[in-house]
Structure 1
Amino acid sequence: MKTAGNYEIHTPTDKTNSLAEWPYQCARHLLTYPIDTAISKQLAFMGEAIGADRAWMLEYRPDMLRFRNTHEWCRGQTEPFVAQLQEAPTTLIAWLHQYMKKGQAVMLHDVEHLPGTAKTLQIEFRRQGNKSVLNVPVCHNNNLFGIIGFDTTVSHKVWSTAEVQALYQCANLIGQARFSQRQHQRESAELPGATQVIYLSTRGIVRGVSPDNIVGVRSAGNYSEVWLEDGAMVLDSRALGVWETLLPPRTFFRIHRTAIINALQVMEVDRRQLDKWQIQLRSVASAWPVSRSYRKPLRERMGI
């Protein structure tokens, strides 16, 4: 940069290395290199600039029930985990996933101070040696396709709003470039017959079930009761809000602030009492109440 009187002259080689430069560099990488190379270069650029020890990207499978680590950059003695996070169940990151589905970033300044409902995620972060983690959703057309984030393994870091916004902008550019041709995969995965599995864990036993075999889910404090087609009830450690993000909206919907049901498992809707609607589900002995605010969605879904 040259200064003379009341004007300044800047050359293309002038670099501020500021957060404002991130989107420009991201667009430049995406326009210059094949998409996978571009993402890797951008992760390295941002990781170095922000002082992270690991930068990474996860991508969901079309059915949203599994994910894989597709890109990762590390420095120093920080170990890579890309090979160990392939086809991992979304239930592993269920607490985080609920915020990603809402398009919200999650800044974890200290992974040792997470709520009890994030216990599974906390164990995974400890395994990776993480101290602080920043997570930002990667979306296209308001649909979640992946997550981009930073880890620190040497010291804790308090992520700033400016850092989050810069990462958001880059994630949006990557989402547009990476997933503009993949919307049909997401839609086809929601069609009847698609193979999907959700994993339940209780008393040390892990059980994989198809969403179609889940009759309904009810809130039980910080836990959830998962009712299955064979009549069993599994007490799951994930809250109802997390389950709402895991279950396919094609067939699952709320009937009460404390209950989600599978439309395919409804046996009867009792509307004889105007102030007390109830639903009878297959393999569940007692009827579940329908709150007034959820009656309209129920009628629309059931065609009644």
Structure 2
Amino acid sequence: MRSFENVPVGEPCGSGADWPFLAARHLLREPAWDAISGILKDLGTRADVDRAWMFEYDDGLLRFHNTHEWCRDGVCSHVQDLQDAPVTMIGWLHRSLVKGEAVMIHDVERLPRLAGPLATEMLRQDDKSVLSVPVFGKGRLRACIGFDMTRTRRTWNASEAGSLAACAELIGLALYKQTAEGLPPPGAQARSVGAFPPLLYLRRAGEVRGVTPGEILGLRSARDYTQVWLIGGSVMLDARPLGLWTALLPAADFLRIHRTAIVNLKHVSKIGPAGAGNGKWTVQLRASEAVWSVSRSYRQALRERLGI
């Protein structure tokens, strides 16, 4: 058995045949970028792998960064290790991805010498076997999704590669496809990768997802956790308390308005009395119908920051 195989992408069948259905269900229910976390979790669990992940290229295909990751319990996360990394690190893999091929690595330790930098990184992450498939958008390589095995080696098969590739095609269509007029189709999120913005990582139950500060509308305390409200309408539960987020968020854009809430000032659309003459103030954020209470002690700071 060869230690690796490059295979043309085919139709899903046999093992993993239902993976595209799982991916499509998430993409129909959620904004595409939000849906990827659920897709990786469902596919990783169904495929019985140890990690499921996605990385995205810059526009020049010169650098890449991990954006999403799901890990089985007890498996270490490495999503933050590869940020703005040079494509030369994965050059051996990249040559197959750009041709639209899935790469099934059955035994990382037996990769050829030309794959040395890639093998070194995979071994550092305790990878024993890896399956990678390309994500295309508008006719060009945009990203890659894949599976890692860290507990045991695994011999992948063409059926699994085809099913994962079908999921990658759905993700590519949802993230990058545009209409003839150059606009994103209804419900899709147009992506322009370009230079990588700094990411903040949301963490919960083995899932890691990178978001830019500008994508965050606001944050609310949920006891030992934090609800993170995002553009697009989704709300994610992060495993860290609100107090820790004050040190992570850029102070120029975010302000605490209540002991249980922080808002992105760039997304404030309305501020004023709550009504009924009770003296309470509220804030409303763009793209959200939720009303956020403003504590009296934070009111003056909010007015000053907004210039009102």
Q: TM-score, normalised by structure 1?
A: 0.54
2:116 aligned residue (98, 116, 119): 119
1:69 counterpart = 2:66: yes
The secondary structure found in structure 2 opposite 1:83 is: coil
Higher helix residue share: 1
Mean Cα deviation higher: 144-153 or 33-42: 33-42
Distance 2:191 2:122 in 1: 33
| Cα separation, 2, equivalents of 1:184 and 1:146 | 11
Structure 1 residues 192-207: aligned runs within 5 Å: none
The structural deviation recorded for 1:24 is 1.5
Cα distance in 2 for residues equivalent to 1:88 and 1:116 = 21
Q: Distance in 1 between matches of 2:99 and 2:92?
A: 12
Kindly provide the amino acid, as one letter, of the partner of residue 114 in structure 2: T
How much identity, in percent, do the aligned residues show?
Answer: 48
Match of residue 127, structure 2, among 124, 127, 130: 130
1:157 aligns with 2:146: no
Q: Does 1:28 align with 2:25?
A: yes
Give the letter for the 2:76 counterpart: E
Q: Tell me which amino acid in the other structure corresponds to 2:173.
A: Q
Q: What is the CA-CA distance between 1:36 and the residue it aligns to? A: 2.4
Any idea what the Cα deviations from partners look like across 1:180-209, whole Å, max 9, x if unmatched?
A: 2599958xx7xxxx9xxxxxxxxxxxxxxx
Structure-2 residue corresponding to 1:106 = 103
- CA drift of 1:142 comes to 2.7
Higher relative contact order (CA 8 A, sep 6+): 2
SS in 1 for 2:109: coil
Deviation at 1:141, TM superposition (A): 3.2
What is the aligned partner in structure 1 of residue 37 from structure 2? 40
CA apart distance, 1:84: 1.1
User: Which among 94, 97, 101 is matched to residue 91 of structure 2?
Assistant: 94
Determine the structure 1 residue equivalent to 2:8: none
Residue 55 of structure 2 aligns with which residue?
Answer: 58
Q: Displacement, 1:92?
A: 0.7
Max Rg structure: 1
Q: Return the alpha-carbon distance in structure 2 between the equivalents of residues 18 and 185 of structure 1.
A: 34
Root-mean-square deviation (Å) = 2.1
Q: Deviation above 4 Å: which 4+ runs of structure 1?
A: 181-186
- AA aligned to 1:170 is C
- In the TM superposition, residue 20 of structure 1 has moved relative to its aligned partner by 2.2
Gaps of 5+ in 1: 1-16, 195-304
Amino acid aligned to 2:95:
Q
Matches of 1:103 and 1:80, distance apart in 2: 27
Contact 2:176 2:191 in 1 (8 A): no
Map 1:174-253 to 2 at 5 A: 174-181=171-178, 185=192
> Residues 22 and 43 of structure 2 are in contact (CA less than 8 Å); yes or no, is this contact kept in structure 1?
no
Question: What secondary structure, in the 3-state scheme, does the structure 2 residue paired with 1:20 have?
Answer: coil
Per-residue deviation at 1:21? 1.7
Residues 258-297 of structure 1 correspond to what in structure 2 (within 5 A)? none
Measured in 2, the distance between the counterparts of 1:178 and 1:141 equals 10
SS of 1:154's partner is: coil
Q: Deviation of residue 98 (structure 1)?
A: 0.3
8 Å contact from structure 2 (residues 63, 86) kept in 1: yes
Q: Which runs of 5+ in 2 are unaligned?
A: 1-13, 179-183, 185-189, 196-308
| Aligned: 1:147 with 2:144 | yes
SS at match of 1:85: coil
Please tell me whether the aligned partners of residues 90 and 118 of structure 2 are also in contact (alpha carbons under 8 angstroms).
yes
Q: TM-score, normalised by structure 2?
A: 0.53
Aligned to 2:304: none
Q: Using a 3 Å threshold, how does the CA distance of structure 1 residues 109 and 18 change in structure 2: closer, same or farther? A: closer
Separation of aligned partners in 2, 1:115 and 1:19: 28
